[in-house]
Each structure stands twice: as structure tokens, then as C-alpha cells.
A = this chain, B = another copy of it.
Amino acid sequence: MAVTLVTDNVLAEGLKTIQREVDAAFDSLLPLPSDPRSRLVEAMRYATIGGGKRLRPLLLAATADMYGVDRDAAVRAGVAIEAVHVYSLIHDDLPCMDDDALRHGKATLHIAFDEATAVLAGDALQCFAFEVLGDVATSGDPFVRIELVTTLAVASGHNGMAGGQMMDIAAETSSFDLSTVTRLQQLKTGALLGAAVEMGAILGKVPHEARKPLRAYARDIGLAFQIVDDLLDHEGDEEAAGKALRKDAEQGKETFVSLLGPERAREQARMLVDQAIGHLATHGPEADLLRALARFIVERDR
């Protein structure tokens, strides 16, 4: 019990700190220009400041912290990956995609502004991510920055997140089995969560071979995260979630819950989280935040 309390505190503190740091970084990196471009930057700020759990920056910073990485560098890389995540939500919410009006409890960007501005703000946030990465302090080692750029680019693109999105669109008209849904989610959500851990390890100059347990951890929590997302979508309350729910079922898409049933899905998520924590066995207390994050992923209620 005492251990759980300590873990809870570690996590609560970690989340609060990264949320403050990420908000401050977006605020200072996106000053409002005094010309007609201001509407675009306002839209980018609306979408990035003060919303979201900041799970990806926290994963990145928690991993980097295990290897004594400078905090500013980790937060900056975290801002880059969050910018990619936010851009993907903006475009996902568009009428031609999921057509959602609510995100993090407030109007989606194309509702608060307009569709054209939402497309542009998403586009601008994507290259903003790479601009930010190009300037991460890496103690004079430029290869670290290049590896960050390549890792984020691959995780976002047609062999990562965007590829998963395409499969998700195809899911509306095809009936996917469990292995295809797993593959879809490994790309759509898992690729960027995996990139967060990987980028933390890159900043920590962890050799490729030594990253394997971290990658296995990321793969397991990525899948657990999506299973819990499906469960929350199935059982949750729209107001608490701050977004529309049960759209997959309406669109006839198979999910982990529709394929496994809620009980087996929850059991699977718990098993994956235990397995993820198992991958951290060679680490001491420096990995406590990653362990707490893994548990948070199954225990969260939104």
C-alpha cells in the first residue's frame, strides 16, 4: 500500500511537472505575430496550450531522466512529439475524417476557428515539431539530433501513425480480425508512444542493443493504452471524457472490445502492463516513473 502511494505521488508529480513545462514551452515557442498570420498562430496555441495529459512528453522525459539527460533537452524533444500528436488530433477531428466537435472538453479546432485554419494549423504544427527538434541541445553531438528527427519522422509517416490512420479508415468498410486490429493500433497509437520512449533513450545515448527492453516496454504499454481506450469508449461518460464516444461501434469498426469482449479486453490490458513492467526488471528506482505510468494506463478513467 505504501509503495502504491509513493508510486501515485511520483506519477502525479511527474504529470503536473511535465504539463507545466510543455505549456510554458509552447507558449514561448509560439509568440503571436502582428500580421494576418496571427490567426494561424492563435489556432496553433489554442490546440497546444492547456490540453491533454502530455503522456508522450512524460514518457520521453521519464526515459531520458533515467540516463541523466538535461531536462531542457528532454522537454524540448517532448514538445516536438506532442506537436505531432496534437496535429494528428486536429486533422483526425476534421469533418472528412472523424468529424468530431469536442476534444479535451472544448470545441475542436475546425469548430472554434474554421476547417481551412484547422488543416493549416495541423500542417504548421508538424513542421514546427521538426524545427524544434533541430535545436535540441545535445551536448555537441549532432548525430543525436538527426536520430531524433528520423525517429519522429518515421513514427509519424506512412509506415507509422499515418499508415495506422489509413488502416483505421479502411476498418469502416472491412471486417478486421484481432491480429489486423492489433497491427492497426500498433501503427496508429503505438508508433508515437514507442517513439517517445525511443527518443528519451536516444537523448540518453543508450546503445541500440540496450534499447530492446525499453522498446518492449513501449510496445506493451502502447497496446494496453489502446485496449483501455476502447474500454473507456465502450463504457465511459462523454462529459468526463471530453469527447464523443462510441463512434467506432456506430461506424461498424472492430475494436479490442468488440473482438474480445470487455472482460477479456481488460484482462489483456492488465497482462500487458505487468509484462511491460517486467521489461524494466534490470532497472532500479530510476524506472519508477515508467512503472507508475504503465499502471496509470490501465487504471485511468479517461
A-to-B contact residues, CB < 8 Å = 30, 33, 35-37, 39-41, 44, 84, 87-88, 91, 94-97, 114-117, 119-120, 122-124, 126-128, 130-131, 133-135, 142-143, 145-146, 149-150, 152-154, 156-159, 162-163, 165-167, 169-171, 174, 180, 183-184, 187
| Residues of chain B contacted by A169 (CB below 8 angstroms) | 116-117, 120
Q: How far is the CB of A87 from chain B (nearest CB, A)?
A: 8
Contact B124–A96 (Cβ < 8 Å): no
Contact B123 A97 (CB under 8 A): no
* Contact A120:B150 (CB < 8 A) given known A127-B126, A157-B131, A158-B37: no
Q: Which 4 A-B pairs have the closest CB atoms?
A: A96-B115, A134-B150, A131-B153, A40-B166
Assembly CA distance A134 to B40 (angstroms): 28
Which residues of the other chain, B, contact A171 by a CB distance below 8 angstroms? 36
Which chain B positions have C-beta within 8 A of A124? Answer: 156-158, 162-163
A150 and B135 contact, Cβ closer than 8 Å, known pairs A40-B163, A169-B117? yes
Residue from B84, B123, B154, B174 in contact with A36 in the complex, judged by beta carbons closer than 8 Å = B174
Distance from A151 Cβ to chain B, minimum over Cβ atoms (Å): 9
**A88 neighbours in B (Cβ, 8 Å):** 123
A122 contact from B84, B123, B153, Cβ within 8 A: B123
Q: Which of A133, A143, A153 has the most CB of B within 10 A?
A: A153
A95 contacts which chain B residues (CB < 8 A)?
A: 96
B126, B149, B163: the one within 8 Å of A134 (CB): B149
Which of B41, B97, B159, B174 is in CB contact (< 8 Å) with A116? B97
A35-B167, A131-B157 known, 10 other contacts, Cβ within 8 Å:
A33-B163, A37-B159, A40-B158, A41-B158, A97-B116, A117-B169, A127-B154, A127-B162, A130-B149, A134-B146
Q: Can you give 28 contacting A-B residue pairs, CB < 8 Å?
A: A33-B163, A36-B166, A36-B167, A37-B163, A37-B166, A40-B158, A40-B166, A84-B127, A87-B123, A91-B119, A91-B120, A91-B123, A94-B119, A96-B115, A96-B116, A96-B119, A120-B169, A122-B123, A123-B162, A124-B158, A126-B127, A127-B156, A130-B152, A131-B153, A131-B157, A134-B146, A134-B150, A134-B153
Question: Which residues from chain B contact A170 at a C-beta distance below 8 Å?
Answer: 36, 39
**Chain B residues with CB under 8 A of A133:** 149
B residues less than 8 Å from A41 (CB atoms): 158
Pair A167/B37 contact, Cβ less than 8 Å: yes
